[in-house]
Amino acid sequence: MAGEIVKMGAVDRRRASGSNNRIKRIVIAGGAGFVGSHLCDRLHAQGHHILCVDNLETGRMSNINHLVGDARFEFRLHDVINPLIVEGPVDEIYNLACAASPPKYQIDPVHTFKTSILGALNLLDLARDKGARILQASTSEVYGDPEISPQPENYRGSVNTVGPRSCYDEGKRGAETLFHDYNDRYGVVTKIARIFNTYGPRMNPEDGRVVSNFVVQALSGRDITIYGTGEQTRSFCYVDDLVTGLIALMASPAEMTDPVNLGNPGEFTMQELARIVLDKTRSKSALVYRDLPVDDPRQRRPDITRARDRLGWEPTVPLMQGLDPTIAYFAAELRRNTKEPVRAS
């Protein structure tokens, strides 16, 4: 039930030994999810106290079980469409709460939209009350089906407001507006990260996004499903690189409130990705083609000039390297959870 506390640790606000960085209490909404759990790990390893908030709609306890029971980690089962009450100080809030893959967020589009808008409002109110910094995990989906490439942050996008993806795209755009307005009107220190396709261990095998789909299909010996001609492109950022970018953005100067693209500018067609996965998994799966979903972007590639110039950030893990631990993770997941043959050696 909402508000249930699995474990709460006392907040130690002493300075870390040998470090100039004060130990913080950090709220991570969506912290049991794919990206959120990696962020929990990184910030916890830095010595901070973590309040992980998740409704477990797409997040999984298996992603954070290794932290539960630690004195500096607290998990709270809660849906951010409802106000979040937190006793004591809060220094930073990361809002990663929302299903991010089309098959998942389209299950209940109204709830998806509420998560983006009401969730943003509730967490912004918490940040305003606590005097905390807050970061919004926005998305490259705000660019819609872009007419230019790569996409810089000042590109306003080409978004369909009444399509099957609109609940997510427009919800994230609305959340960005709220973050801007809370900074402008109330002085809340806000950060906006526009996240491009991210992959790595802890993705749900049933996530429905292209990397998880291709790898699971290849490992299971099933046909690899390519939508459209396969010539549409995506850019893939390894999760460790993304987490580094999120933390750097949160630590940036208070006046830096403009959206920042976080992603890997390396661009691959869907056919290229499929063949890389087939090669790495040594799978004999065939490629099959299906109709392109409505509003599926033809091209997605970030311009990361702003991240390089203002954060000193750029990704370091190329796709060919990051796929290895990702494939190993999925192979282990399939062995645990299914009786299907796993073909990875």
The rounded percent of the chain whose pLDDT value lies above 90 is 85
C-alpha closest to that of 245 among 203, 202, 306: 306
| pLDDT-flagged residues of the chain (< 70) | 1-21, 338-345
217 inside domain: no
C-alpha closest to that of 192 among 124, 114, 101, 102: 124
CA 6 to mean position of chain CA atoms: 23
Q: Exposed e or buried b for every residue in 171-198, given b needs 16+ CB within 10 A?
A: bbbbbbebbbebbeeeebbbbbbbbbbb
214 inside domain: no
> For residue 4, what pLDDT is reported?
38
> For residue 21, what pLDDT is reported?
67
Structural domain containing residue 141 = 4-196+239-264+302-317
The mean of the pLDDT values for the chain is: 91
9 inside domain: yes
181 inside domain: yes
DSSP-assigned letter for residue 22: B
Flag whether the pTM goes above 0.85: yes
283 inside domain: no
Class of residue 221 by CB neighbours under 10 A (exposed 0-12, middle 13-18, buried 19+): middle
The reply to whether 168 belongs to the active site is yes
Task: Tell me the CATH number at 124.
Answer: 3.40.50.720
46 inside domain: yes
**Per the residue annotation, which of 168, 182, 199, 238 is the catalytic one?**
168
72 inside domain: yes
